[in-house]
Chain A
């Protein structure tokens, strides 16, 4: 009984501190629990998005393949497969370079074989670029996809 009371008090104290941090503008409510790289996702230029994820100056690598259709008739659903054959893989980022917000997804990966498959929206014909961090270095590869009808609505 007593232990439960302690827990309740602890919980209340924790919440209080959190509320203060939120009120002080240190934390936005939606960012309290999970990381989300707001500056990178809100960037409207490829270069700004790249620098926000530390991807500028990435080295081109033939160990990365970006598989996507040559022509996407519907930009709202473009299948993309990234395979990164690099030891010490840490993360893969996917950008559609001409989208209103070029950064599409950022994936931290542990003990995978470097394969990632997803479906993205593309606003216009552009390079789909992968930025891969592995073994403390940053690598990149890209593939151009021609988009017939853009799928971002912008």
Chain B
């Protein structure tokens, strides 16, 4: 099951501004919980963003990305109506993907 992910992609000045907000604890394995024990590492390691079948962004993340990761960039050469797909994988091999349309 995919983590809740919001994707906004809107055309602005010939490029698509892509904004991503994922819901994820991004535990780096260094933080102590209320019981004084380290909270097990649980973070997204790979995120790829594909628009109309072409990969624009291929990211690797460490535990230093904030909880509920936010990411924005601008993709050139795309048009309204193109399909945008975000796929991710976490440090335990959990995977998911979310689709949206460039508006």
Contacts and interface: CB of A to CB of B under 8 A. Distances in A.
Interface of A: 29-30, 33-37, 41, 76-78, 96, 99-101, 103-113, 115-121, 151-154
Contacts of B45: 30, 34, 36
5 contacts: A34-B46, A36-B45, A105-B65, A106-B60, A116-B72
Report the interface size class on chain B.
Answer: 35 or more
Nearest to B33: A153
Given A33-B95, A121-B66, 16 more contacts: A33-B89, A100-B28, A103-B64, A108-B58, A109-B73, A110-B54, A110-B56, A110-B57, A112-B57, A115-B72, A116-B73, A119-B66, A120-B64, A120-B65, A152-B30, A153-B28
B60 A112 contact: no
Interface SS, A side: mixed
Interface of B: 15, 28, 30-32, 39, 45-46, 54-67, 69-77, 89, 91-93, 95
Interface SS, B side: strand
A35 B75 CA distance: 22
Contacts of B64: 96, 99, 101, 103-105, 120-121, 152
A117 B72 contact: yes
Q: For the complex of A and B, list the 3 residue pairs with the smallest distance between their C-beta atoms, beginning with the closest.
A: A153-B31, A104-B64, A34-B46
A41 B64 CA distance: 9
Given A105-B62, A105-B64, A30 B70 contact: no
B90 to A, nearest CB: 9
Nearest to A105: B61
